[in-house]
Amino acid sequence: MRLLIDADGCPVVRLATDCARRHGIPAMLVCDTAHWFELPGVETITVAKGADSADFRLVNLVQPGDIVVTQDYGLAAMCLSRRAAALDQNGRIYSEDNIDSLLLARHTARKLRSAGVRLKGPSRRTPAQDEAFLTALETLMSEC
């Protein structure tokens, strides 16, 4: 088991890598050249900047039993198909039961934005979200 983090814009990189270290699980960050990470004991893979370049690299690295942290529903779906566990930065664990509805919501939002509709962005991150994330990550690490 490894922890792979889609580190482009991920607000829980430190929380996730610290948790992996406590559990003795190797952690790997995948990001593009627009981001810079250097954390002790954590492997960082930097890919060329481009649409979804980090996502494609990560999905090619993921193996059954790995845990992936991502807020990208498409990447989460690909990781689930490779029999990895996946969760988002707020502690939502992606599963076969919720991924289709999340992908549909993403598609619908994209169509609305293309039509000129302005959608509300995410609210400010709270300590409760960090707690929920850590609880879900700890659960996945103990189950895998």
The residue to which tokens 């370049």 are assigned: 53
Residue 1 to residue 27: CA distance in whole angstroms? 9
Average of per-residue pLDDT values in the chain: 90
pLDDT digits (tens, 9 = 90+) for 49-77: 877 888 999 999 999 999 999 999 999 99
If you count DSSP H runs as helices and E runs as strands, how many of each does the chain have, helices first? Answer: 5, 6
pTM of the model: 0.86
Do 99 and 85 meet the contact criterion of CB atoms below 8 Å apart? no
